[in-house]
Structure 1
Amino acid sequence: MSIRRSVVVALVLGSGFGAVTSVMNEVASPMGAIGSRIAGTGWASTAEVTTLLLDAGWAWAALAVVAGALTGVRMSGAAAGALALISATTVYYLSDSILREEPLALYGPELVQWSIAAAVLGLPLGAVGASINDAGVIGLLAGLTVPVGAAVQMLVLPPSTGASAANPAAAWAQGIVFAAAAVAAAVVTARFVADSRRRRRAEAVDAVVS
């Protein structure tokens, strides 16, 4: 993928993710203009589960990994990962400012803080994403980064933190993450095993021919 296209893709992914996350937070909040209208309905429950998933650290990390994976090159992937997170952070606060009818300057300190974090963390995460299609152990570890990280976060910092332990939305979010992480890890591992077998067969054929 060309550098220009990588930049565009990272900006689109990041901006879209930041906007959707901000909007879903507003919809899930019973104090929001939209959330107050759907409070107590199935739509409200769905919005709450969705926002718990989007607000999780692993989801933001996955954004950088995906942006990097789309480039396929480590240097470009690192830059794409950082750019995607920075744009997501910027649009997130910009959207919050618009939805809440508050000045963007009010979010200035947080925006700067999280933009710096996005740049620092986005670089290695983007590089990891660009390594997903590598052969061998490197590709395996890169592919397991997001599902393993997501599962660990659900154990260490479950979505029920700060809310009622019996919150059904938190339980649903946790279950969805565990299920998705298990499927993703199984797919990545199966691909690694299949690739390893193909390489061994190819090496055996080469040895016979030689």
Structure 2
Amino acid sequence: MTNDQRHGRRRRDRSYVTRLAGIVVSVLAVGGGFGAATSLVNAISGSFADLESRAYTTSGWSGAEIASTLLDSGWAWAGLAVAAGWLVTRTEESRPVALAQGAAAGVLALLAATAAYSIVDTIRSGGRFPWYESEVVRWFASVTFGGPLGCVGACVRRPGVIGLLARLTVPVGAAVQMVVLLPGRNEVIEAIGKTVVWMAAAVSIGFVVARFLLVRRRRSETVAKSP
């Protein structure tokens, strides 16, 4: 191996390490920011809630409480893992590498979000319990579901049906959750939450499917015109 080849290999290795470090920092920042924001929004919504009032308990709501209900939901946390997998994936990477990176990113993002959520909650509660013991279910879900969801995110950039299904995962999952697990503590919040999620899911699904069909049509026309 010549000196130029050695230098070239070292530069590629440094570039890969630098990119890998940047990926880790970005994923941890996104996940930590999401978890901290969710905990803070929960705190703000609690300050607006007058749970001593029977009328407010049964029919009261606030914008902060709606935001809290949407952020602190399963589909939103799942969307974080999918977004992390999408964020770290490049179209030129091989499929195994992309899936591995997406899976790792999904787990890291959810772990960072859970850690930030737990720390902020512990600080708000006056440190009555260790932050790492406060969200056992979230820790378990981060490790269990973060990898598969990150892989879904890694497939978002892929063309074809697999890419389409990956892009539909979050909006379809959100819509289904509104049927299986209603959001909020009373019927008014449940109705608002369902309406917001279903409208956003319908718009997202329509946009994704329409774009997929348009791209497919253009490709078909290009193939038909080619000699």
- Shared topology, TM-score over 0.5? yes
Superposed CA RMSD: 2.1
1:199 maps to 219
CA contact (8 A) 1:52 1:170 kept: no
Distance 1:48 1:90 in 2: 22
| TM norm structure 1 | 0.85
Instruction: Report the Cα offset of residue 6 of structure 1.
Output: 1.6
- Is 1:84 paired with 2:84? no
1:148 maps to 172
SS at match of 2:120: helix
2:126 maps to 101
Residue identity opposite 1:28 in structure 2: S
Instruction: Report the Cα offset of residue 123 of structure 1.
Output: 0.6
- Is 1:7 paired with 2:24? yes
- Is 1:74 paired with 2:99? yes
Unaligned runs of 5+ in 2: 1-15, 90-97
Alignment partner for residue 199 of structure 2, among 175, 179, 182? 179
Instruction: Report the Cα offset of residue 181 of structure 1.
Output: 0.5
Distance 1:134 1:194 in 2: 16
Distance 1:172 1:137 in 2: 33
1:62 maps to 79
1:49 maps to 66
Instruction: Report the Cα offset of residue 145 of structure 1.
Output: 0.2
CA contact (8 A) 1:158 1:174 kept: yes
CA contact (8 A) 1:82 1:121 kept: yes
Closer, same or farther: CA 179–127 of 1 in aligned 2, 3 Å = same
Instruction: Report the Cα offset of residue 20 of structure 1.
Output: 0.7
Closer, same or farther: CA 113–174 of 1 in aligned 2, 3 Å = closer
CA contact (8 A) 1:82 1:126 kept: yes
- Is 1:164 paired with 2:189? no
1:118 maps to 142
CA contact (8 A) 1:65 1:81 kept: yes
Choose 1 or 2 for highest CA Rg. 2
Residue identity opposite 2:108 in structure 1: L
Instruction: Report the Cα offset of residue 202 of structure 1.
Output: 2.5
SS at match of 2:62: helix
Moved more, 21-30 or 9-18: 21-30
Q: What stretches of structure 1 move > 6 A for 4+ residues in a row?
A: none
Instruction: Report the Cα offset of residue 12 of structure 1.
Output: 0.8
Unaligned runs of 5+ in 1: none
Distance 1:110 1:149 in 2: 26
2:43 maps to 26
Distance 1:116 1:52 in 2: 21
| TM norm structure 2 | 0.79
Instruction: Report the Cα offset of residue 175 of structure 1.
Output: 1.1
